[in-house]
Structure 1
Amino acid sequence: MTTPRRRADAVDNRDRIIKAARAALANSDELRLNAVAKAAGVGQGTLYRHFPTREDLLAEVYRRDVDALVDAAATLAAEHDPLTALARWFDRIADYARVKRGVLSAVDAGVWQGLSADSHGPIGDAMTALLDAGKAEGTLRADADARDVMLLMTGLTRLTAAEWEPRAGRLLDILLDGLRTKP
């Protein structure tokens, strides 16, 4: 059985809705569906046809961010030395964590556990590849693994909106410094 094809305008509407929701989550912990529809340039009916519940929309924003984060790891590894690739990926992690913080506050615990379980594997695999490249080059600690880094990064999801700008980048810099091998 094949998946039904969506009309181009429906795909475009869906993408605009997701982008508007992501932008709203990056700027606030509250997601107002009427504001998302307005920002996306669609009516409430269009929004609800694509995403019957708020949780459906939040889950799709989260899934797309996970996919983009995983894809970025391979691209960065191909374009940069391992330490630079990891540092630039951490920048993407910060952006992801900002949205994840918004999703975490907006989604009920049961939905969140399912989303989180689905994403840790691909993100962990991408992080392992970046860490392994740095270990092979001798620029990253041999004893650190993806789970260590993921546990340390969970603090990003706890930052308030006001703390984000002054702290997120600095926390990732501290983490990256801790992963480097010492001369």
Structure 2
Amino acid sequence: MHLLIPVIAYVVLFGSAPAATAPPGTRHAAGHQHSVVMNPAEHRSPAVPGAASYRVPIDTGAIRVLTAFSPPRTRYGRGHLGVDLAAAQGGSVLAAGAGVVRFAGPVAGRGVVVLVHPDGISTEYEPVTVAVVAGQRVVAGQRIGTVRGVHRGCAPAGCLHWGARRGGAYLDPLSLLRPLGVVRLLPWN
């Protein structure tokens, strides 16, 4: 029953159950926790006309990933559909990109904010004390709440769970911060 309530909450909020699709090479052992430190200035998406620009959703000198993205192997299997970033209680939660607030309120006892971005990606932030309302437009870097509460995978340390998806497919939100790199055209044959 405890697993059913979060699934029902996601279906109500997002219209479908979590999907198990992910790009090749993104699978990690379920529940695997590790810490990665990154400099946010080096991890912003490029300013390409027509492309969304994303930023780290917390305001710190460097980000530390406590739990990495780990999609489940089956539709309802075990996994981690986002990343947990080290964040102090009361720290600001920022919009990762410009968009519209789709949902702002409690889910299963935790504050959640969901933003929909112009490129069709939605980003999710929890646990937060919400500072925005559904339908509100936000810009990248705008404060949308504060870290308040505990995310299941981070106790006793504080963290922000940050998720991203396009349609029914969850994405590694850190991939939003990486530029495409070198693009090579290959022949059809």
Task: Quickly name the TM-score band, shorter chain normalised.
Answer: under 0.3
Higher CA-based Rg: 1
TM-score (norm 1): 0.23
Q: Which has the higher strand share?
A: 2
TM-score (norm 2): 0.23
